[in-house]
Structure 1
């Protein structure tokens, strides 16, 4: 039986994580998650405030139109 060919060794450097760099990577990832979460919450809040404003305007317009019809 013929021997299996051996894959050539890669010339690329290997990445080694030290405990400090792993901690920095985890802290950076946590910061990104917090920033994305804050942006999403603020967008949701903006949509909720806009919806409430549109609802209030609709109620006021409805009231004004009802008063206009009563005075005819």
Structure 2
């Protein structure tokens, strides 16, 4: 949960319209953990505080390890 708190703290300091790109490498977590956080953030984005830009990986057999969050 500490990782989620850090992510939400970073989102809170963003200005409206500002974007933040985060990756599994930035957070020093595994792809599986990143995927779990990604799914959670997708659900939280439905509340409207921020949106997530999903970029389709060039090779579909690789999991996505980067996401861009835009503060609404």
Q: TM-score, normalised by structure 1?
A: 0.26
Q: Which has the higher helix share?
A: 1
Q: Which has the higher strand share?
A: 2
- Which structure is larger by alpha-carbon Rg, 1 or 2? 1
